[in-house]
């Protein structure tokens, strides 16, 4: 009888030993080291930590922000109810940690208390009601005071209504200015608008839905109704809406219907106007080319007129070619 060869026993694989986490080196930025240590469960670095929170959708929060809120010794917020809801939603317990309110009405009284906690080498996480702290937010004075007393200030970046509105507006984003909230009084608001009329950048403006109609009317009068703009409402929320058009068309819409919710207005830069009154771009170029190189003349005239550099460069080449033929 033929015998079968004995079966070979399978060799069990050797258990894999996980590699230890990389150690921080002198080249690792302190803020990155702090974020990594927090994620591994280590204590948060003693500092004032500025934590960006969602402007609408609750999931628009970073993992680092959750780590910071979970590990900080002390929590401070512009609106403690909003922060409590955010903590509950993401399963972060308050435990026995202090939760301090810090807003416009109590900032002078609360700031010394928070600075005293920082002096005790405590980690304090400050969260805006929505968005990035210090942008239209009372945390600016707190951060400035902490820096003045030599404490570290660390940002955990995240959601921002400024950048969100700029992204969806369809307007140029290569240069922009956050203009904040306009004054509420009509006369002061018109003076404010005049001071920004010639800024060569896209403007991002916060405004109350009750006053945005009046603001648009003033901007049409002072800036001209033909300037392009986008009115962004309830960004990242269920009823998000973006209306794009001219200032005049947006103003007309606001007359017929009231708006609700948070509003961000984005306005295009003014149309380029040649410097020197009736002087044209070519006249400016001819003047500059008599004493400057083509490159220097193009940079100078493009900056003076606000025209695209490529357009100015093409005109400079034509002028230079005409001059060569005349010779």
> In terms of C-beta density within 10 A (0-12 exposed, 13-18 middle, 19 or more buried), how is residue 307 classed?
middle
Identify any residues that bridge with 111 across adjacent strands, giving them in sequence order.
none
Answer whether residue 28 shows pLDDT above 60.
Answer: no
pLDDT tens track for 229-283: 999 999 999 999 999 999 999 998 886 667 888 999 999 998 765 444 435 788 8
pLDDT single digits (tens) 131-190? 999 998 899 999 999 999 999 999 999 999 999 999 999 999 999 999 999 999 999 999
In this predicted structure, the answer to whether residue 38 has a pLDDT above a threshold of 90 is no
- Residue 44: both structure tokens together: 């948060």
Q: Which tens digit of pLDDT belongs to each residue from 269-311?
A: 987 654 444 357 888 888 888 888 888 888 878 777 767 778 8
Q: Name the packing angle between helices 212-223 and 247-256 (round to 10°).
A: 150
């Amino acid at each position: 009888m033929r015998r079968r060869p004995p079966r070979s026993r399978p060799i069990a694989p050797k258990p894999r030993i996980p590699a230890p986490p990389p150690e921080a080196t002198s080249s690792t930025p302190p803020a990155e080291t702090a974020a990594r240590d927090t994620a591994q469960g280590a204590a948060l670095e003693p500092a004032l930590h500025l934590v960006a929170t969602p402007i609408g959708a609750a999931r628009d929060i970073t993992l680092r922000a959750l780590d910071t809120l979970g590990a900080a010794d002390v929590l401070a917020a512009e609106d403690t109810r909003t922060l409590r809801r955010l903590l509950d939603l993401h399963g972060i317990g308050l435990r026995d940690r202090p939760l301090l309110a810090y807003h416009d009405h109590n900032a002078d009284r609360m700031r010394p208390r928070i600075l005293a906690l920082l002096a005790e080498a405590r980690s304090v996480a400050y969260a805006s009601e929505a968005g990035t702290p210090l942008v239209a937010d009372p945390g600016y004075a707190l951060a400035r005071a902490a820096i003045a007393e030599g404490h570290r200030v660390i940002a955990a970046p995240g959601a921002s209504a400024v950048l969100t509105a700029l992204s969806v507006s369809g307007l140029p984003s290569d240069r922009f200015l956050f203009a904040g909230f306009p004054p509420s009084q009509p006369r002061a608001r018109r003076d404010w608008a005049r001071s920004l009329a010639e800024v060569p950048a896209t403007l991002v403006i916060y405004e109350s839905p009750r006053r945005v109609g009046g603001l648009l009317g003033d901007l049409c009068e002072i800036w001209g109704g033909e300037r392009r703009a986008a009115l962004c409402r309830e960004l990242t929320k269920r009823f998000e809406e973006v209306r794009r058009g001219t200032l005049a068309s947006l103003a007309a819409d606001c007359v017929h219907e009231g708006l609700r919710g948070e509003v961000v207005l984005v306005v295009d830069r003014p149309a380029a106007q040649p410097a020197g009154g009736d002087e044209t771009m070519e006249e400016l170029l001819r003047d500059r080319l008599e004493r400057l190189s083509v490159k220097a003349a193009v940079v100078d005239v493009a900056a003076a007129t606000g025209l695209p550099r490529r357009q100015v460069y093409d005109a400079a080449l034509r002028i230079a070619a005409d001059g060569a033929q005349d010779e």
